[in-house]
Amino acid sequence: MIYLAPIQGFTDFVYRNAYSKVFTEIDAYFIPYISAKNGTILRKYEKEILLQNNQQKRVIPQVLVKDLNELLFLSGVVENAGYSEVNLNLGCPYPMVTKRGKGAGLLADPEKLKIMLTAFFDKSNLKLSIKLRAGLNSPEEIETIIPVLNNFPLTEIIFHPRIAKQLYKGEIHTSAFQLATDNLKHKLVYNGDIFSLADFNKYEYNFPEIDDWMLGRGILMNPFLPAEIKNISILQDDKFEKLKEFHELVFKGYTETMDNTGNVLNKMKQFWSYFSYSFPNQKKAFKGIKKSKNMVDYNVATQKAFFSLY
């Protein structure tokens, strides 16, 4: 099973819908976290969780919370939107999040987490999965989290074996992941640093017990990576057509949902910061897009990039 990771600002519903229409190898889509502010959620989050924007076979909203009240409130929002499952973010590593006790910040307080999960399963009808890091400051922190998680009927645990302070850099803590593999009572999903088939083969060899994998930036950079992992062959001409269709659907989606062309252009530049890795000369392809000042420039730059695939 391959999951698409929830990446804030990138894997929004426009991206997910476009991707799922062109590529069929993803088994579950995770909606980037929604959070609460003053007892409500922003409109952009409402759009993200609308069922009409999430027609894939399995879609799970993720929530980012600081305490029990926010967890119950956002779980209620998710349930009212029509979902049967929610994912709790215990992995966001950014200091502006962790300093507020959210994301990986909750890993520093196992007792608080236990209280939150106890109340959740007492009051919510939703199934719950968790995405987490090895710890906030040390990979040894996972040792105090595992006993807490084992007390609850979680759907699955998605584990990125870095600590928060590493962000997305530095070595993967394979010993922490192995500890989780040996001691967690739940289904475990691996997440982290799978950018190529070779990367996947390495982690599959290191962790033969794992059957389910979450990919993020690897898919943003290479939309064909799930097919490669599942040993699905795609002809070169078909790859060209799929990349072109994917781009057109993403562009169309943002054009229809954003209020002006300037915002669309900025969003497409963000999209190409990863998408450009699908082209022979990534730097050249992205440079042309990045320098675009208007849609005329953008269309010329994209035509040149796609021409390079011939």
* DSSP element (H, E) containing 88: strand 85-90
Residues 6+ apart with CB under 8 A from 133: 90, 91, 93, 104, 107, 159, 160, 161, 162, 163, 164
User: What is the model's pLDDT at position 309?
Assistant: 86
80 and 180, same structural domain?
yes
> How far apart, in whole angstroms, are the C-alpha atoms of residue 277 and residue 11?
17
Which spans in the chain are helix H?
13-22, 43-49, 68-80, 95-98, 110-123, 142-149, 174-183, 197-206, 217-221, 225-229, 236-257, 261-275, 282-290, 295-307
φ/ψ (deg, to 5) at 241: -65, -40
293 and 187, same structural domain?
no
110 and 165, same structural domain?
yes
Q: Which domain holds residue 213?
A: 2-229
Point out the domain boundary residue: 229, 249, 264: 229
Examine the pLDDT at 39 and tell me if it is beyond 90.
no
Structural domains in the chain (count): 2
56 and 30, same structural domain?
yes
φ/ψ (deg, to 5) at 285: -60, -45
58 and 179, same structural domain?
yes
pTM (two decimals): 0.95
Q: Find, among 258, 207, 212, the residue nearest to 270 by Cα.
A: 258
Provide mean pLDDT across the span 137-155: 97
Point out the domain boundary residue: 180, 205, 229: 229
140 and 276, same structural domain?
no
Whole-angstrom CA distances from 15 to 12, 74, 177 are 5, 23, 30
93 and 181, same structural domain?
yes
Provide mean pLDDT across the span 222-240: 96
62 and 194, same structural domain?
yes
Examine the pLDDT at 199 and tell me if it is beyond 90.
yes
Provide mean pLDDT across the span 189-212: 97
User: What is the model's pLDDT at position 193?
Assistant: 96
User: What is the model's pLDDT at position 43?
Assistant: 84
Which residue is it, tokens 């993403």?
250
297 and 202, same structural domain?
no
249 and 203, same structural domain?
no
- pLDDT tens digits, residue range 270-301? 999 999 999 999 999 999 999 999 999 999 99
User: What is the model's pLDDT at position 25?
Assistant: 97
- pLDDT tens digits, residue range 150-186? 999 999 999 999 999 999 999 999 999 999 999 999 9
Q: How many residues does the chain have?
A: 310
Output the domain CATH number for residue 134.
Answer: 3.20.20.70
- pLDDT tens digits, residue range 89-132? 999 999 999 999 999 999 999 999 999 999 999 999 999 999 99
- pLDDT tens digits, residue range 205-230? 999 999 999 999 999 999 999 999 99
94 and 138, same structural domain?
yes
- pLDDT tens digits, residue range 41-81? 988 899 999 999 999 999 999 999 999 999 999 999 999 99
123 and 221, same structural domain?
yes
User: What is the model's pLDDT at position 106?
Assistant: 97
- In which band, very low, low, confident or very high, does the pLDDT at 240 lie, cut at 50, 70 and 90? very high
Examine the pLDDT at 310 and tell me if it is beyond 80.
no
Whole-angstrom CA distances from 176 to 4, 173, 182, 306, 310 are 23, 5, 10, 42, 45
Point out the domain boundary residue: 212, 229, 246: 229
Examine the pLDDT at 145 and tell me if it is beyond 90.
yes
